[in-house]
Structure 1
């Protein structure tokens, strides 16, 4: 982990380590996804691993939400559904925001942890090339 990394409440240790190792040497802020509708933490996830972007749907209440700025590019996306090799489609979701020296988000990395067997993986990542970016940190 980088000395300036920040890991939010509810992020499993193995998912935090994976997201940190998937990123460059910049500090990261790692945030757990929590449903705004019911507070749930288990999701079905659509992702575009070519262009980047992800959308999650809460297993508990069915509320959909885009991660970071995914909605802006979703119309052109070709999303697939996340699935674990064990066959499960239900995941905990955490997002790593790679921060530049000026504090702006430069990369978004979406990691998933399977609820059935605990397997972790990076499913999508994309570059952010605009500012300001503070709003992205709450769109998990």
Structure 2
């Protein structure tokens, strides 16, 4: 299903396509990882983040497992963490999302330059862009920590 627009918001099923289209810190996205819980295999999450520290944590709706995205655990203190919400609900409660992380790689694909966290609201299909940041070390192992 293609990405469409409704009421000024992008709507769609293909979160990987959306992540590639949005980019990361102004760079092309070369790799996309759709988030899946390592404990139960779930694909629906709540998302907490600190936009100033560029840190994000997803919480599995199936089992409650918490997971830092990429290198977020190195910068997380939780004191400024906010929850991701969707415009479809309007009450400010935390919603359920599918989450994808897009990675921009250096030429030669020997390191990560930047990443971007994108989401899809389970209730309405709205696609969203949570945050993006440069990766300080470029470590490729972060591809497996989406």
Task: Verify same fold: TM over 0.5.
Answer: yes
State the match for 1:136 in structure 2: 142
| CA apart distance, 1:134 | 1.6
Residues 51 and 77, structure 1, Cα contact 8 Å, conserved in 2:
no
Please point out which of 96, 101, 120 is paired with 1:95.
Answer: 101
Does residue 31 (structure 1) correspond to residue 44 (structure 2)? The answer is: no
Please point out which of 37, 47, 60 is paired with 2:49.
Answer: 47
The 1:60/1:135 distance shift into structure 2, 3 A limit, reads same
| CA apart distance, 1:75 | 2.0
Residues 53 and 73, structure 1, Cα contact 8 Å, conserved in 2:
yes
Give TM-score scaled by structure 1 length. 0.83
| CA apart distance, 1:55 | 0.2
Give TM-score scaled by structure 2 length. 0.80
| CA apart distance, 1:27 | 4.6
| CA apart distance, 1:106 | 0.7
Residues 35 and 98, structure 2, Cα contact 8 Å, conserved in 1:
yes
| CA apart distance, 1:61 | 0.4
| CA apart distance, 1:76 | 7.2
CA RMSD of aligned residues (A): 1.7
Residues 48 and 124, structure 1, Cα contact 8 Å, conserved in 2:
no
Within 5 Å, give how 1:1-140 maps onto structure 2.
12-13=13-14, 15-23=15-23, 24-75=26-77, 78-87=80-89, 89-103=95-109, 104-131=111-138, 133-140=139-146
| CA apart distance, 1:101 | 0.5
Between Structure 1 and Structure 2, the one with more helix by share is: 1
Unaligned ranges ≥5, structure 1 = 1-11
Moved over 3 A (4+): 24-27
